[in-house]
Each structure stands twice: as C-alpha cells, then as structure tokens.
Structure 1
Amino acid sequence: MSPVVVERRESALWARIDRPEAGNACGSEVMAGLEAWLDRAGEPGVGVLVLTGTGRSFCAGADLTEGTSLLADPPALKAFLERGRDLVRRLRSAGRPTIAAVNGAAYGGGLELLLACDIAVAARSARIGDRHVAVGQVPGWGSSAMLPAAVGPALARRLLITGETWTADEAAHRGLVSEVVDDAGLADRAAEIARAIGALDATAVTRMLKVARPLDDERAWAREADTLDEHIAHQINARRPR
C-alpha cells in the first residue's frame, strides 16, 4: 500500500499523505507516491492538484529516521535529499494550479511542500514553521529560497533562525497561507477553490501560472544546497570514531 492516497474529485486530483503514525513524514515511499501523483497531472480533465495529509499533520518534514540511517552511506543520503528537492521543485513548476490543504503540522519539508503550492488554505488547528534549526538541521528542499518571496526577508529570517512555529491565523496574517477555515471545513473549502479554478478557461489558467508564480533565485537554491552539503559533511565527521 502506498503511503500516498491519490483520488480524483471532479477536475481535481488529490494526494493525501497517509502516514499519520509518523506525522506524515516524507520518506522515500512518500516521495514515490507524490511523484506518481504528479505524473498524473496531465491526465485528461485534470485541472487542479490538491495536497493534504491524514490526521493531525500535513507533513512533519523529511523522514529523519530514514535520513539518519543513511549517514553511513553519504551517496545514498545525498540522493535522498536531492530527490526531495527535485520533488518540491517539480511541484512548484507543475503544469496545473496547486492547492495545499494544510490540515495540521507543516514543518521542515512540510513547509517546503506548502511553499511549493500556488494556494495554501489552513485548518485553524494547523501549526506551521521551518523548524530545521530546532532539530539541528538546515533546509535542503527550498525553504530558505522560497520563504522571502512568501513572507518577506525579515520574517523569513526570523522563521528560519529561531525555529519558531506559527498558528494558522499568524501564518495567514503574514501571508504564508491565504485563508484559515475550521478544521471540519478544510476539505470542502479546498474542493470549492479547485472547482472554481476548474470552471475557468484551462488555457488562460495555464498561462496565468507563468505570470502569477514567483521567479526563483537560482543563487538562493544553490546556496542552500551547498550549505546542506557542508552540514551533512559535518554530521558525518562528528559520528566517526576519534
């Protein structure tokens, strides 16, 4: 069974990360499921992509258990991290509008998945933050590159450096999500937005994506990747016997 449940709802193709026991952490199997979801974006009649999670987490981040297990195999760890970065960038450039229905905690890689989506709607109970520094890590899937465009440089630095989390209302006030709804109404609201987009002229929507999406600063993405490589090398060296 895939830990990502994909289903068609009218013109929207939904993906629901289904690892509630692990906070919907994004490991290799989740990545494979999300890649398969994106593979289907071009199917006839698909107008919108919607991403959400099961239970109390949208996505708690990259799977640290899997990542830590790969510290003894640096090439495999590098491939794991690059796969996650490629997934986020693929979502960010998807050929259909993307909606994040943020049902709960969105930390680390979960924040990066949120940032990659065009529209984010949050349940009132959601909690959102970068949180990499809180677990002794640095971002690798784009939060340092995407956050400044989403909330401005000052708030981006604050979120990255402090590791703090924001409530859904705080995230909306600061522009990280566009709307907050009661938990029970989240799926219906995401479906309503998807339905409204699906009723529009598909060609116009596709062209609108070209002008509505922020331009990426490739230097910021490269700086983040280089910094992650340095940090991983430090962690590997720290584990070696003295």
Structure 2
Amino acid sequence: MELTLNRPARLNAFNEDLHQRLAATLDEAEEESCRAVLLTGAGRGFCAGQDLGDRVNAAGPLDLGTTIERYYNPLVRRLRALPKPVICAVNGVAAGAGANIALACDIVLAARSARFIQAFARIGLIPDSGGTFTLPRLVGDARARALMLLAEPVEAELAAQWGMIWKTVADEGLMDEARRLTAHLATQPTQGLARIKAALNASATNDLDSQITLERDLQREAGRTPDYREGVAAFMEKRSPRFTGRPA
C-alpha cells in the first residue's frame, strides 16, 4: 500500500484533515491483504511538520499537548506497532514532526537532495512525535542534542552516514527504489516481520533477561505460522518460498 501526504502547497504540513485522512488509510493497512506500507510526500517535500497557519488562526488559548495526544502520538505509536513493514521515502525536506514521523518508520530512504530538520527550537518548542526518544538512539546523545538545540538541517547523505536513515537514493530513482523495496517486503513472511518489529520495539526498554524471554515467546509464535513451514519446505526443496503472510 502506498500512502502519499498530499498538501504540496504547504509542503505536506499536517492539519486536522490530513491527520484524519492518514489515520483512515492506516486503518486499511491493518487488513491482512496489505503486507507492506510505503509512506511518502507529494511535490517537493516530504512533510514540514505542523501547519502553523492553523495555530495562528486558532480561537482562544492553545493547548499543544492536546494536538499531540490526539494526533501525533497515536500516529507514531501506530507506525511502530503496525504488524507489517513501513518504508518511508523522504523526497525533500522533512522538518519538525515531519522528520520524526519519517524516523518512526521501519526503513527510511531519502533522496540525495532531502534534508532533516529538528526545527522546534526555532519557535520555542521541544521536539515531539517521538523525536527525543528516537533520535538519540539513532545518532547518539551528542549529535541529537546539537541537532535539537541548534535546529540545523542534516543533509540526506550525512543522515545516512550517521545511521539516522537506511540510505540515500538519487532523486530521480527514489520512488522506483522505494516501490521495489516495498514490493519485495510484501512477498516476505509477514508474520515473522511483524515479530521482528515487536522485538525491536521492546528492546529499547528491556533488560537482557526480559528481551531473550520475549525472543523465546515470539519465536514460539513464529514457528507456528504457515510461512515458517513454507520457508523450511522451500529450503529443503531448493526452491523459492511462496509466503502468504497469513497468521494461520
């Protein structure tokens, strides 16, 4: 399934309508027929974060925590927990919440002209959408602190060198590569991939004993899936596996 943030005139900045439409489309991605998700942006940028025009025109005092609790936090939780791989193709600037939503995906490809900006400090805010959790784990504490406090952009090539993203792709080849990768993952053992995600998500906060216990439990579940049986049969028969992604 391919999802495109489609407010190109606003660099795909989020407003309430875009949040609601993305949430509805992710509902469809939960269906068994969808086995991989590709997220990208329309036009010359991936996402500029929150549409500040909505803030300027809001009536009464603002409670930014309400917006985070209602929209951004559920989106980040959903991308991380979705039981299938989520690929993000960053086709231009990814700023503020847009950068952190990209980093919440499983595999991030970026056009060489793309940039990632923790822009929050420029307007007196803190990074949200999981940024203060995700970025230090990707690039280390020193780099994360500097990027957030200085709000300096990171070019895609440097982001890849630092381990912030998977890799960069020539601008003209970004979507072809992203679609190729998504199509490949859609043919793989979906139930096993879902458990890989679950294990990695838990590893951020588990100690070793808790993590290897979880590995045992997830491996037990994976070993009961049709795709595991098919994978073993294909290996023994020296043929390509035909995974279905079905839970049973």
Place the TM-score, normalised by the shorter chain, in its bin. 0.7 to 0.9
Which amino acid in structure 2 is aligned with residue 29 of structure 1?
D
What SS does the corresponding residue of 1:132 show, helix, strand or coil? helix
Quote the Cα distance in structure 1 between the aligned partners of 2:154 and 2:47. Answer: 15
1:80 is matched with 67
2:167 is matched with 179
2:100 is matched with 112
Q: Which has the larger radius of gyration?
A: 2
Q: Give the percent of matched residue pairs that are identical in Structure 1 and Structure 2.
A: 35
Gaps of 5+ in 2: 206-248
Moved more, 79-88 or 55-64: 79-88
What SS does the corresponding residue of 2:38 show, helix, strand or coil? strand
Q: CA-atom RMSD, angstroms?
A: 1.9
1:22 is matched with 10
2:144 is matched with 156
Which amino acid in structure 1 is aligned with residue 24 of structure 2?
A
What SS does the corresponding residue of 1:40 show, helix, strand or coil? helix
1:129/1:164 contact within 8 Å kept: yes
Quote the Cα distance in structure 2 between the aligned partners of 1:140 and 1:206. Answer: 25
Q: State yes or no: 1:47 paired with 2:47.
A: no
Gaps of 5+ in 1: 1-12, 218-242
Quote the Cα distance in structure 2 between the aligned partners of 1:45 and 1:78. Answer: 35
Moved more, 43-52 or 164-173: 43-52
Query: Quick one: structure 1 residues 195 and 149, their matched pair in 2 at CA, closer, same or farther if it must change by over 3 Å?
Result: same
Q: What is the 5 A alignment of 1:59-208?
A: 59-70=47-58, 72-74=60-62, 77-82=64-69, 83-208=71-196
2:139/2:163 contact within 8 Å kept: yes
Moved more, 20-29 or 66-75: 66-75
Moved more, 195-204 or 17-26: 195-204
Task: Report the count of equivalent residues.
Answer: 205
> 1:27 offset after TM fit, Å?
1.1
2:14/2:50 contact within 8 Å kept: yes
1:41/1:95 contact within 8 Å kept: no
Quote the Cα distance in structure 1 between the aligned partners of 2:67 and 2:25. Answer: 19
Quote the Cα distance in structure 2 between the aligned partners of 1:206 and 1:157. Answer: 31
Quote the Cα distance in structure 1 between the aligned partners of 2:38 and 2:55. Answer: 27
1:99/1:120 contact within 8 Å kept: yes
1:122/1:180 contact within 8 Å kept: yes
